[in-house]
């Protein structure tokens, strides 16, 4: 794990330079990739948890639902819907 000081420094930079929607968009895609990786590693409970985080962040970043649909579609192409 990276040192907490480095993570905090990165967070300070992000908060100072990125709009909240961008932070949520980046978080959504990070969680989406974790969901797929967890499913591929057969960590099914983790995949479900990560997918839910991706959906939450995607919903927060775009009031039109475009990002949410994109995240759901991308994950859905890689993970069977019944697994989530």
- Binned at pLDDT 50, 70 and 90, residue 8 comes out as very high
On the question of pLDDT at 52 being above 90, the answer is yes
Average pLDDT of the segment spanning 32-59: 98
Average pLDDT of the segment spanning 41-57: 98
Average pLDDT of the segment spanning 2-27: 97
Alpha carbons 45 and 67: distance in angstroms, whole number: 24
Q: Is residue 8 part of a domain?
A: no
Q: Count CA within 13 A, CB hemisphere, residue 7.
A: 4
Q: Look at the chain and report how many structural domains it folds into.
A: 1
Q: Is residue 9 part of a domain?
A: no
Tens-digit pLDDT profile for residues 54-83: 999 999 999 999 999 999 999 999 999 999
Burial class (CB in 10 A: 0-12, 13-18, 19+), 56: middle
Alpha carbons 75 and 30: distance in angstroms, whole number: 12
Domain containing residue 69? 19-83
In this structure, are residues 55 and 24 in contact, taking their beta carbons and an 8 Å threshold? no
Q: Is residue 7 part of a domain?
A: no
Q: Is residue 43 part of a domain?
A: yes
Q: Check residue 1 and give its pLDDT.
A: 87
């Amino acid at each position: 794990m990276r040192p907490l000081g480095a993570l905090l420094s990165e967070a300070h930079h992000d908060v100072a330079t990125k709009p909240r929607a961008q932070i949520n968009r980046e978080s959504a895609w990070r969680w989406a990739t974790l969901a797929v990786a967890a499913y591929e590693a057969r960590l099914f409970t983790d995949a479900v948890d990560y997918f839910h985080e991706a959906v939450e962040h995607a919903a927060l970043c775009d009031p039109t639902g475009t990002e949410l649909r994109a995240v759901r579609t991308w994950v859905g192409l890689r993970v069977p819907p019944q697994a989530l």
